[in-house]
Structure 1
Amino acid sequence: MMQSIIFQGHRGCRGLLPENTIPAFLEALKYPIDYLELDVCLSKDLDVVVSHEPYMNSLFCSYPTGKVVRKSEEKNLNLFQLSYEQIRSFDVGQRGNKLFPEQKPQPAYKALLSEMIEACEAKRSSFPDFGYNIEIKSEEKEYGISQPYDVKVFCDKVFEVLKNINPKKVIVQSFDFNILKYCKQQMDLGVYPKVQLSALVTNEGVRPSLEKLGFLPDFFSPYYKSLTAGKIKICHQKGVRVVPWTINEVEDMRHLISIGVDGIITDYPNRIVEI
């Protein structure tokens, strides 16, 4: 049987346009991707905001005045302590990102998840097959600091935004297994629609990760450099697909496909055509 690969545009297309912004997602749709990968955090008013960090990243964020956010100021710009109106007033694209020299700088802001989905769904007639891979940015040490104490609040807010989206087009992923366990519980109870779940890990092994999770997710998603053919085999024996992050070099993509991965997450969806 021919291998079927799921391609995902990481934070839209971070290598080409400012990450996690509506222009980056719309641009990513122009390439042969299956999912838009994105991250979500919560504002003080519990709006679901598309952002990788729960703060303003000094690499590319600027104050409304145009003043650059300094590294020492990041943690004081906690999104969970800011209203969405305040969050939206910061620029996140005009400076570009020195880590991604091909990224084209342009004015941009952190959008609401609902706004991002609305913009992408408006293109559905031209790009009918894409889905969303939504990472809920959560970690236990941040409970009550940059997110609610209770994962229920975070998950409920995200699924509220997703209520009108075809669940077959949605993956929810997280490094925080408490998030995934709660989502699975609510799905089993019929409270949440049955979306696909993905367990994010860095270097952790397959068996201890799945044991900690307590159920078999649809996807196991490790850092690509920690992935081996053996780990892929273990996942496949359990019926779990493997989608590593974040692969930007074409040769690395080819190698991972050759050892059996089921998907590729990349900052450069324009490079997919080279495979």
Structure 2
Amino acid sequence: MKITNTFLSAILILSLTHCQLKNDTMKYANLDVQGHRGARGLLPENTVPAFIKAVELGVTTLELDLAVTKNHELLVSHDPFMSHKFSTSPDGSPIEKEDELNHNIYQMTYEEIKAYDVGSRFEKQFPNQEKMAIHKPLLKEVIDAVNKYIKDKNLPPVRYNIEIKCDPAGDSLYHPLPAAYAQLVYDFIVEEMDTTQLNIQSFDFRILQYFHENYPEIKLAALVENTLPIEDNIANLGFTPEIYSCYYHLLDSEKVSWLQSQGIQVIPWTVNETEDIQRVLDWGVDGIISDYPNRVLELISN
């Protein structure tokens, strides 16, 4: 059979197309897609349904925040109080902004906390968020619910990015002192979780320094929202973290490359719009924290 140049050209084009598709697919194979507070754009933040939704979508990591109850239980909550943005009092009235600090989680038992609804009110920042009557869960509740869902659905394990919310102004008022807080979290994760499948993150470098000094085996992420040079933030931390996690507007391709040259993973937050997601992907980040992990997953699979 005579093989024409046209036939050979067609074969070459098909081969190159196949290789390109394969390369595009593999390009994001190791991207860490993190559901911010579960999947806040889709379901009420830091609630069990939001975390289950994120797992259902196919995230690799669940990002969540911690607060501490009166009985020193670890509660999943972004704020150490009931936020006026979406919280409803046990009597059915919405929390007012000027009163939210008085609803101090550190001064409440979990039974008291469960009486607050944090999922029924409309939140204009997330107009398509599904509303439901729901309470803030304990960390143990989240872990148990996610583990059960993964087992029932025969899904791969998911990682956890656990933020310890801590601030000098809140010491002993809205949360324990840093050392006690960090120790409380450590005692929980070694008892209830696979410590190789999680990292601790915090804006409060005192928390990270405690873990680094006492439990260096725990992977750490430095959260950053200031405009200081990256080198200054790392110097202030006092050691090189495994992850540098900053507001995505503070990054560019050169900064990402420099951090990675230092052996530091770059995982920016909170990247929600498709064009911004594509932009940080083009920078070569190691992961993305998003309120809409579905958008990240759709983009990298196209």
TM, length-normalised to structure 1: 0.94
Q: How many pairs does the alignment contain?
A: 269
Match of 1:138 in 2: 166
Q: Does 1:101 align with 2:127?
A: yes
Match of 1:196 in 2: 219
Match of 1:34 in 2: 60
- 1:233 to partner: Cα distance: 1.9
Query: Structure 2 regions of 5+ residues with no counterpart?
Result: 1-25
Q: Does 1:85 align with 2:85?
A: no
Please give the per-residue CA displacement for 1:197-252, whole angstroms capped at 9, x wherever unaligned: 10000133210111011111110001011111222122111100000000001111
The 3-state SS of whatever aligns with 1:123 is: helix
The 3-state SS of whatever aligns with 1:9 is: strand
Among 166, 183, 199, the residue aligned to 1:156: 183
Match of 1:241 in 2: 265
Structure ID, larger Rg? 2
How far apart, in 1, do the equivalents of 2:155 and 2:167 lie? 34
Query: Structure 1 regions of 5+ residues with no counterpart?
Result: 189-193
Please give the per-residue CA displacement for 1:167-201, whole angstroms capped at 9, x wherever unaligned: 1211110000000000111214xxxxx23110000
Work out the percentage of aligned pairs sharing the same amino acid.
Answer: 39
More helix by share: 2
The 3-state SS of whatever aligns with 2:215 is: helix
How far apart, in 1, do the equivalents of 2:236 and 2:135 lie? 37
Give the AA of the match of 2:209: K
Mean CA deviation greater in 14-23 or 128-137: 128-137
Q: Does 1:229 align with 2:253?
A: yes
Cα RMSD for the two superposed structures:
1.3
The 3-state SS of whatever aligns with 2:149 is: coil
Give the AA of the match of 1:157: L
How far apart, in 2, do the equivalents of 1:187 and 1:29 lie? 28
- The answer to whether the 8 A contact 1:177-1:199 is kept is yes
Give the AA of the match of 1:224: Y
Match of 1:174 in 2: 202
- The answer to whether the 8 A contact 2:211-2:218 is kept is no
The 3-state SS of whatever aligns with 1:251 is: helix
1:123-134 aligned within 5 A: 123-125=149-151, 126-134=154-162
- 1:134 to partner: Cα distance: 0.5
- 1:2 to partner: Cα distance: 4.1
Match of 1:191 in 2: none
How far apart, in 2, do the equivalents of 1:117 and 1:35 lie? 13
Give the AA of the match of 1:237: S
The 3-state SS of whatever aligns with 2:90 is: coil
How far apart, in 2, do the equivalents of 1:42 and 1:129 lie? 26
Please give the per-residue CA displacement for 1:8-41, whole angstroms capped at 9, x wherever unaligned: 0000000000000001000110113110000001
How far apart, in 2, do the equivalents of 1:77 and 1:21 lie? 19
